Amino acid sequence: MSDNQSPLYGVMAAFDSPDSLIFASKSVVKAGYCKFDTYTPFPVHGIEKAMNLKPSPLPWLVLCGGLFGASAGFGLQTWVSIKGYALVISGKPLFSYQAFVPVTFELMILFSAFAAVFGMFAINKLPQFYHPVFTQKCFESVTTDGFFLMIECADPQFDLAAVHQLLEKQGGFNIVDVRDEG
Amino acid sequence: MKSVEVKAEQLSGRFSKFTQIHVAVAAIFGLVSLVLVNSQANHGLPMYLSVFMFFLTITLGGLFWVTIFHLTRSGWSVVVRRLFEHLMNRVGLMALLFIPIVLGLHGLYEWTHEAHVMHDHLLQVKAPYLNQPFFIVRSIVYFIVWFVLARGFFNDSTQQDINGDPLLTARSQKRSTYGILLYAITISFAGIDWIMTLTPHWYSTMFGVYIFAGAALSSLCMVSLLALFLRRNGFLSTVISVEHYHDLGKLIYGFVIFWAYIGFSQYFLIWYANIPEETMFYLSRNTAAWKAVSLMLVFGHFLVPFVLFMSRHMKRNRVIHACIAAWILLMHAIDMVWLVLPTFYPNGYMPTVLDIAIIIALAAAYGAAVWKGLDTVALFAHQDPRVDESMRFENV
């Protein structure tokens, strides 16, 4: 399937354990690469530190979602009770903020959850039906026992020979050039 | 992973002078209180009950956390569990400090006045439950339950320091199963008996949980402060890491929200139904001088820590962590005052010299007991089968 005319996407290597993957990630960071990714069958603790990843912006998205939900819930109830349908209920003032708390609270939770779930999808660029790594037969083991690391050629200091050498030195095997056939 | 030999840490008399000062202060101010009680018409009992409840909730919070740690077989908490154990072990002292309340029943609880009850239909109906002998029997039962549970956990834990027997952990876990049930029932009824019956016409089915929420929260803050204080003095610095403070912080944060949730739920139902014998509790607290205290609790006990302590960085920063824990303890003290005092002084209250003497005496007595306890045994459960796991614990 591999077609040499397709543009190069990156160089991928397999590793035999989470520990060697973490070790390799550290060396790749040390060598100055920033555009690379790792692929594992399960979450590997400590990999985000080894890859020198920035903290996720997701908490801020959730905070915004929560603030939006709370203010929307409180605002809607205020408008409905005071202007939209100004009904006196059990002799209480129209602006009975105590009664608004449960709905405000629930909408805050709802919108925080929306922000968390959909924000997570967006940050992870999901759903993704095609990725250049899918062209590699050996990559199928990523769902069982394969640990992969790929340095992408979008990296400013990408050099094919140097990358091959680095991955080999770190104990990577099945080193392949991944081409984007999409 | 290799298993390292865990080294025990001991205060070995480092704070003995500190403890002696506590004892002296407690003795002096205890005497001052006694003299003032005899010479003043204002007998300071309501304040005594507030301060007693403040320390009782911290003690019972300790018992709760030790029970829940065993119940859930939690690994991370092993290195901080001993501090909770010291708090729960103060049940004996609290039983002793309960004696003045028994002696002052007439000054506190209106249902103890027979002449008063005769003209009050509701109190007559409640008399089979609200009478002095039964009240005292119940109080004794609560203290026995707490004492037996606390002693059991403490003895198992300290015995394990010596012989390292993992079966002691299994025994504590077994005790925690029925322990948590007994605990839930006793703390709810104690809260109802000692605080809610100050206003015997009023009732709230939420009240026991409200006391529990304060207990769980205040003991967490107390343990955080204790650990940070010990760390400052060079103890436990390699044992309790930033990861443990982070976890304590998460629990504190969760229980700040839990307290607000319970407090609001109690208020909300009463506000909605608007029935006089239910609203009277909030009426005296939402009017006159007490309104400021109620607002202070809403903001200080909930909103301020809710916003400030949300971030992971705040929980992991030791100085900020200590400041917020101390702030919440202060708010918890105000909460206990807010529960008791408005019933006696609906138009507001200025603490007297007697009140201040009582506060200092009880705080010093409690402090002395905690420091004495800390000194007698190792600072953390270094022979626990999961101590290794706890020390290596990391938040993801």
pLDDT tens string A158-180:
999 999 999 999 989 889 999 98
Mutate to test the interface with B, among A53, A56, A88, A101 (most CBs of B within 10 A): A101
**What mean pLDDT comes out for the span A68-89?**
95
Q: Count chain A–chain B contacts defined by CB atoms under 8 A.
A: 13
Q: What is the pLDDT of residue B197?
A: 95
Nearest by CB to residue A90, choosing from B267, B268, B274, is B274
Domain boundaries, chain B: 24-387
Distance CA B36, CA B355 (A): 10
Taking an 8 Å cut-off on Cβ atoms, the answer to whether A101 and B264 are in contact is yes
Mutate to test the interface with A, among B271, B295, B307, B316 (most CBs of A within 10 A): B271
Q: What is the pLDDT of residue B1?
A: 36
Which residues are bridge partners to A150 per DSSP?
Answer: A12, A37
Residue A147 belongs to what H/E stretch? strand A147-152
Cis omega before residue B276 (within 30°)? no
- B19 exposure class (CB count in 10 Å sphere: 0-12, 13-18, 19+): buried
Q: Residue B248: phi, psi to the nearest 5?
A: -60, -40
Q: What is the pLDDT of residue A1?
A: 47
Q: How confident is the model at residue A90 (pLDDT cuts 50, 70, 90)?
A: confident
Q: What is the pLDDT of residue A83?
A: 95
- Per-residue pLDDT in tens (0 to 9) along chain B, 396 residues: 335 567 888 888 888 899 999 999 999 999 999 888 877 656 789 999 999 999 999 999 999 999 999 999 999 999 999 999 999 999 999 999 999 999 989 889 999 998 889 999 999 999 999 999 999 999 999 999 999 999 999 999 999 999 999 999 999 999 999 999 999 999 999 999 999 999 999 999 999 999 999 999 999 999 999 999 999 999 999 899 999 999 999 999 999 999 999 999 999 999 999 998 899 999 999 988 899 999 999 999 999 999 999 999 999 999 999 999 999 999 999 999 999 999 999 988 988 899 999 999 999 999 999 999 999 999 999 999 999 899 988 887
Distance CA B172, CA B177 (A): 9
Q: Please state the three-class secondary structure of A97-161 as a single string.
A: HHHHHHHHHHHHHHHHHHHHHHHHHHHCCCCCCCCHHHHCHHHHHHHCCCEEEEEECCCCCCCHH
Locate the chain B residue with the closest alpha carbon to A47.
Answer: B396
ipTM comes to 0.81
Taking an 8 Å cut-off on Cβ atoms, the answer to whether A90 and B264 are in contact is no
Taking an 8 Å cut-off on Cβ atoms, the answer to whether A101 and B267 are in contact is no
* % of chain A beyond a pLDDT of 90: 72
Q: What is the pLDDT of residue A46?
A: 87
Distance CA B245, CA B243 (A): 5
- Average pLDDT score, chain A: 91
Q: What is the pLDDT of residue B2?
A: 38
Whole-number Cα distances in Å, B384 to B25, B159, B164, B179 = 36, 10, 7, 20
pLDDT in tens, A23-37: 999 999 999 999 999
Q: What is the pLDDT of residue B35?
A: 87
Name the interface residues of B facing A (CB cutoff 8 Å).
Answer: 264, 267-268, 271-272, 274, 394, 396
Distance CA B55, CA B48 (A): 11
